[in-house]
Amino acid sequence: MNTIRDVAKLAGVSVGTVSKVMNHQGNVKPELQDKVLQAVKALNYQANGIARSLRSSSTKTLAVLLADIMNPFQMALARGIEEVTYQHGYHILISSTKENPEIEHRNLRMFYEKRVDGLILCTTGRVNDDIRSIIQREIPVVLVDRPVLSLPVDIVADNNLLGMEMLVACLKDLGHHRIGIVHGNRDTIHGQLRYEGVVKALQIHGIPFVPELQVDGGFTYEGGYAAVQEFLNRGPLPTAFVSANNNMTAGILRACRDLGIKIPDDVSLVSFGDLEYSWNLITPSVTAVTQSPVMIGKKAAELILRRLTGQAEQDVSHIFMTPRLIVRESTAAV
């Protein structure tokens, strides 16, 4: 039977370092932690060390790492997590990445040092090795909103591809072919997925992909506003806009109002994302596909609690919420 000395020898570290990693003590560099965990796995030493340590030292605390805690979607997601976890006696620690992988890396390290029982994560998609390291420590991880299918973790997210296809189909049914797309940040997982969804939808419906009708709005209000100005600078206004999120939609609405562009008389508008408490104040009301942030949060919390109590299935679960199209005042036939 292998011993802790065997682990230390294979990892090239001291016995004390192995002990610190296994018992979540001290300040061990991430690269050394990874060497220890790789040696533990290679020698099948985990059953006698890490797993028992984790089972016997629950903190009843879950970490929630969001992209932007000021974003209404993310706030609603956190609320859904809270509604479930508090009922089961768990506290949550919330932080954000600000879409910065270095901040995500530091936060993941901080949560590990605080010995959280599990992690619900809206990842940038650029620290996958850090996430794998946490998984190796047998800390349950659930990804929300940003699916990374290559990671062996549970995932709960909106169906981004289907949602964008529904928006394009809505406009095609109204006779639109010259459709301006306001894309989000393609460096993010959901930004890339929604971009791919638009490209696929245009192909399905026989609408050419025209570079001049593609503008990057960066998922921000300012980006949506600037996109309308950019379309005007490029030539004739499209007959319709597709906005990849509701922040940009708000910017598009304001720009159209400031520039005297009437919706839907001059241009139709559809949006990915619908937060009803905001849309109730907006005229015209916007045709949109729904998102499910509260339900995503609840499902994620339920999954991670089942992992912690040993009730989850062995295989990971991938849950994608089916969006719903709500037709309102911002769309008209051409």
Q: How confident is the model at residue 276 (pLDDT cuts 50, 70, 90)?
A: low
What number of other Cβ atoms are within 10 A of residue 87's Cβ? 10
Over residues 231-256, the pLDDT tens digits come to: 999 989 999 999 999 999 999 999 99
Contact assessment for residue 161 and residue 199, using Cβ atoms and an 8 Å cutoff: no
Distance CA 219, CA 202 (A): 21
d(CA 314, CA 90): 23
**DSSP, res 87:** G
pLDDT tens digits for range 42-77: 887 754 444 444 444 678 999 999 999 888 889 999
- Mean of per-residue pLDDT scores for the chain: 91
Q: In this structure, what are the phi and psi dihedrals at residue 94, rounded to the nearest 5 degrees?
A: -115, 135
Q: Where are the alpha helices (DSSP H) in the chain?
A: 4-11, 15-22, 30-42, 50-55, 72-85, 101-113, 128-136, 160-173, 189-204, 221-234, 246-258, 276-279, 293-308
The predicted model gives 73-99 an average pLDDT of 95
Cβ contacts of 127 within 8 Å, gap of 6 or more: 101, 104, 105, 108
Q: What is the DSSP letter of 322?
A: P
DSSP state of 220: S
pLDDT at position 161 is: 97
Amino acid residing at 290:
T
For 108-163, the pLDDT digits (tens) are 989 988 889 999 999 999 999 999 999 988 899 999 999 999 999 999 999 999 99
Domains of the chain, CATH where assigned = 4-53 (1.10.260), 58-158+293-321 (3.40.50.2300), 160-291 (3.40.50.2300)
pLDDT reported for residue 24: 67
At what angle are helices 128-136 and 101-113 packed, to 10 degrees? 10
